[in-house]
Structure 1
Amino acid sequence: MSYIFGIVSAALILVVVIELLRRRHLRERHAIWWIIAGVLALVAGIFPVTLGWAAGLLGIEVPTNLVFFVSISILFLVGLQHSSELTQLESKTRTLAERVAILELRLRDAEQASSDKN
């Protein structure tokens, strides 16, 4: 029963991510980690032996620990990607705010020069 739950959950993750992509509520660069996680979960759900094989290959005694490690790693990468993009957006926002301030100053100076002529 737990295998069926795992397969259904992984398939549901993939369907939701693809639907969000289709509706343009999620960008491709953000969806890649969720698609990777969904595919890995689907493969592990359909072929549970691969989880034990991969854990053995990496020297991990309990396959569930591999699941937790991969899950935490994917969440770490998602957080890192979002932090990087947030830093870039903050820099762009600061630059735009400075440009707007300069334009407002120029506009105010131009309006003042215009009113002084009249």
Structure 2
Amino acid sequence: MNPVSHVFAIAAASVALLAVIEMLRRQKFRERHAFWWLLAALLSVVVSIFPETLEWASSLVGVEVPSNLVFFVSIIILFFVTVQHSSELTTLEEKTRSLAEHTALMEQRLSILSEYLGNDPRSPGK
């Protein structure tokens, strides 16, 4: 790796790591969302500082081209991010449905109570 690309790789990985840390600090996302991004940024910093580790890891795993290992690990990390977000989306959809049902029941009770008292809750000025 030539010195310019080596410095560029270190700078890019460091910026990515600092961006994730800054988003955590500013509470743009929570720790549970940041785990996989922190892992990816830390791995990229280590590999950019010590490119031999990528070659060592690829030979250990049996991958002939080290960049293929980078792509594979990236896909795995993105898979876990997607699974985590899908899980949380399912939970939020269930909570939203439950809240909608609860709101509908409360509106029905209010309507029944208003009819019983002789007030129309939908008419302005009363």
Query: How does the TM-score come out when normalised to structure 2?
Result: 0.89
Which structure 1 residue ranges, 5 or more long, are not aligned?
none
Distance 2:29 2:6 in 1: 29
Aligned-residue Cα RMSD (Å) equals 1.0
Residue matched to 2:97: 94
Displacement over 6 Å in runs of 4+: none
Alignment of 1:12-51 (within 5 A): 12-51=15-54
Give 1 or 2 for the bigger CA radius of gyration.
2
The structure that is helix-richer by fraction is: 1
Deviations 1:5-24 (A, max 9, x none): 11111110111111111111
Whether 1:104 and 2:107 are equivalent positions in the alignment is yes
| C-alpha deviation, 1:75, in angstroms | 1.0
Residue matched to 1:82: 85
Query: How does the TM-score come out when normalised to structure 1?
Result: 0.95
Which structure 2 residue ranges, 5 or more long, are not aligned?
120-126
Residue matched to 1:5: 8
Give the percent of matched residue pairs that are identical in Structure 1 and Structure 2: 55
| C-alpha deviation, 1:61, in angstroms | 0.6
The number of equivalent residue pairs is 116
Distance 2:97 2:5 in 1: 50
